[in-house]
Amino acid sequence: MLKEFKEFAMKGNVLDMAIGIIIGAAFGKIISSLVGDVIMPPIGLLLGKIDFSTLFINLSGQPYASLAQAKTAGAATINYGTFINTVIDFVIVAFVIFLLIRQVNKLKRQPEPVPAVPTTKECPYCLSAVPIKAIRCPYCTSELKTA
């Protein structure tokens, strides 16, 4: 059983998947930083100096000035600003993956086109295109040699 597990774990696609997950997690952190630290501040500034990560709805009934105070007090909150940041993270990651897969598909070798079987031949007398099975040219009525 241990030998079977070792064979399974050492298969190329399992290792590729593990590497992909690790790189994906690191890439996710980069995208989260990009959204939280680069993209959202200018958007918040354009929308009236709003920091999306601090937007919340207080469900406890007691007023709190900030999300940090509400969390410290243990109040129930709906953190819709964090949700907005997460949705933007997802959209950016999905778009980057789309671009990556699109490039990979372009780099894949296109299959060689299958040569077309000729369906016509040229009449040696009038140089018209004639069906390959024809024994007489429909244009000049000359007899054609069969293939």
Handedness of CA 59, 62, 66, 69 (dihedral sign): negative
User: Across 49-99, where does the E strand assignment appear?
Assistant: 57-58, 77-78
Beta partners for residue 143, in sequence order: 136
pLDDT digits (tens, 9 = 90+) for 84-140: 888 887 888 788 778 888 888 888 777 778 888 888 999 988 999 999 888 899 989
Global pTM reads 0.53
Task: Break the chain into its structural domains and give their ranges.
Answer: 2-107, 116-147
pLDDT digits (tens, 9 = 90+) for 23-40: 888 888 888 788 778 887
CATH topology of domain 2-107: 1.10.1200
